[in-house]
Amino acid sequence: MRAVTEAMIRCVRRYRLDGNELRRRSDRLETAALLVALGVIVLSVWPALILGRLAYADGLAGERTGPGVREPVAATLLQDAPAPGIMAAGQKASKPTVTVRWRTASGAQMTAEAKVRPGARAGTVTRIWVDGQGRVTAPPERRSASVIRAVAVGAAVMAGVVGVMTSCLLGLRGLLDRGRYAEWEASWIREFERGPHQGEPS
């Protein structure tokens, strides 16, 4: 407990919150800037939460399935899928793209390109996802992906604000330190010019 108290006292003294009347204007300015930066960081929690919630809501929209949104259909491969290691350049080894055909709920036949299992043979039935317009689309996202994205967005906002405030404080402190060094140098020069006996009665 004593160590915690001493650490708090050192922090107060370091950031000049002790009400000392001998503090210079630059010291008070640095303290005010620190308080403003802390206030901005605290206030940035709200935008971080809002953007995180928006990212989560966008993820939930990507999870929705059902007629008119996104639904799975059984499609038949019209050609052999390349085996791993012999696919065309630029295709991912896990999911080659081939032509497939399926029938809609109204009985219409649809043909499109879709990603399927490597090495699947023509005539194989596979499951693909289509959107409300019958176009091949990506599978729905998992809930964990939505949560991770929301947390990442919120954390990025907070990290950005903290980074900007820290850079501003360091820049301000560098400017103030140059002014302090100049004041100290001027004080030493004045003391040196006065000499040790200047002002004493003869």
| Residue 93 clears pLDDT 70, i.e. is over it | no
| Residue 15 clears pLDDT 60, i.e. is over it | no
Q: Where are the domains of the chain?
A: 13-57+144-192, 65-139
Q: Report helix, strand or coil for 76.
A: strand
Biggest CA-to-CA distance, the chain: 118
pLDDT given at position 84: 73
Name the pTM for this structure: 0.59
* 92 or 130, higher pLDDT: 130
pLDDT given at position 202: 45
pLDDT given at position 41: 93
pLDDT given at position 140: 84
Write the CB contacts of 115 (distance below 8 Å, at least 6 apart in sequence).
95, 96, 97
Q: Summarize pLDDT for 24-33 with one digit per residue, the tens.
A: 677 778 788 8
Q: Sorting pLDDT into bands at 50, 70 and 90, what band is 88? A: low
Q: Report helix, strand or coil for 113.
A: strand
CB contact at 8 A, 114 and 136 = yes
pLDDT given at position 24: 65
